[in-house]
């Protein structure tokens, strides 16, 4: 048999290593965020490479990717450590932020502005209001354990929103207060999520770099009787929050032969 010859490093080889690094980064990110590597120092590169079945060069690229995300820090003489915890936000239940993250610390709310306004037509249509009908507009900076986590812009129908002027908004979720005011539970919400870059103002409010990736959620919440009452635009710091949920695939009612 001929001796094996070394494979030259080509553009295709580098691309393949980059592809592999991206695949491994997805797995390692999951272990850091939800698994057994959430705190402290990560194993050495060689140990990680063995665990994930890849080369040390590829693992080095993996760690560089996670460092660029702000998830880990690489310090000479110390190794690779977790830079900061990411908090899980569940999507399979309609909960307020404090309800969702109660196991991870205290959520506090800074009310930046609140008042009665004439909403843009697009907002009025989403809330099922007549043209020119005012709404309560509320803007809050929300922190977890003192760290800025989200900037929430909220439009509330007037009869539901006005009682909140006298409510303790700094220490309560809007959802809890809405149920108290209306005397009925919330029912459902229509939700859209996308990635956006932080503009200069939002970055300053959230203490994030300008252009940083944010998770943007638009959510229209209805009471149990179906009435829409709360339209929110929420910008989360992407380096501090991860979304998760449970999805079920319903069997098809009709079978095509």
Residue 177: count other Cβ atoms within 10 Å of its Cβ.
19
Residue keyed to tokens 């009471």: 223
Is the pTM here over 0.95, yes or no? Answer: no
For the ranges 34-38, 45-49, 131-135, 154-158, which has the lowest average pLDDT? 34-38
Q: What is the pLDDT of residues 164-207, one digit of tens each?
A: 999 999 999 999 999 999 999 999 999 999 999 999 999 999 99
CA angle centred on 82, ends 81 and 87, rounded to 5°: 175
Q: Classify the phi-psi angles of 25: left when phi > 0, otherwise alpha if psi is within -120 to 50, otherwise beta.
A: alpha
User: What does the alpha-carbon distance between residue 150 and residue 142 come to, in Å, rounded to a whole number?
Assistant: 5
Burial of residue 135 (number of CB atoms within 10 Å: 0-12, 13-18, 19+): buried
In contact, 235 and 206? CB cutoff 8 Å: yes
Q: What is the pLDDT of residue 257?
A: 39
Q: What is the pLDDT of residues 106-161, one digit of tens each?
A: 989 999 999 999 999 999 999 999 998 999 999 999 999 999 999 999 999 999 99
Residue 80's Cβ-side half-sphere holds a number of Cα atoms within 13 Å equal to 24
pLDDT at 6 over 50: no
């Amino acid at each position: 048999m001929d001796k094996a010859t070394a494979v030259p490093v080509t553009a295709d080889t580098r691309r393949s290593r980059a592809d592999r690094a991206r695949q491994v980064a997805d797995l390692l990110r999951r272990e850091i965020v939800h698994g057994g590597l959430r705190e402290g120092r990560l194993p050495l590169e060689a140990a990680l490479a063995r665990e994930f079945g890849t080369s040390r060069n590829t693992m080095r690229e993996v760690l560089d990717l996670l460092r660029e995300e702000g998830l880990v820090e690489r310090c000479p003489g110390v190794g690779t450590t977790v830079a900061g915890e990411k908090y899980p936000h569940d999507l399979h239940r309609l909960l307020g932020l404090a309800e969702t993250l109660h196991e991870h610390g205290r959520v506090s709310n800074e009310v930046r502005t609140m008042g009665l306004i004439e909403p843009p037509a697009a907002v009025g249509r989403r809330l099922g209001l007549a043209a020119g009908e005012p709404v309560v507009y509320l803007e809050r900076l929300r922190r977890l354990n003192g760290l800025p986590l989200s900037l929430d812009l909220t439009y509330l129908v007037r009869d539901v929103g006005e009682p909140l002027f006298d409510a303790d908004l700094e220490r309560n979720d809007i959802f809890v207060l809405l149920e108290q005011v209306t005397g009925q539970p919330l029912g459902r919400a229509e939700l859209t999520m996308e990635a956006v870059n932080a503009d200069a103002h939002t970055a300053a409010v959230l203490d994030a770099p300008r252009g940083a990736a944010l998770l943007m959620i638009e959510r229209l919440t209805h009471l149990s009787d179906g009435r829409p009452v709360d339209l929110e635009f929420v910008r989360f710091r992407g380096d501090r929050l991860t979304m998760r949920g449970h999805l079920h695939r319903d069997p098809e009612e009709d079978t095509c032969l």
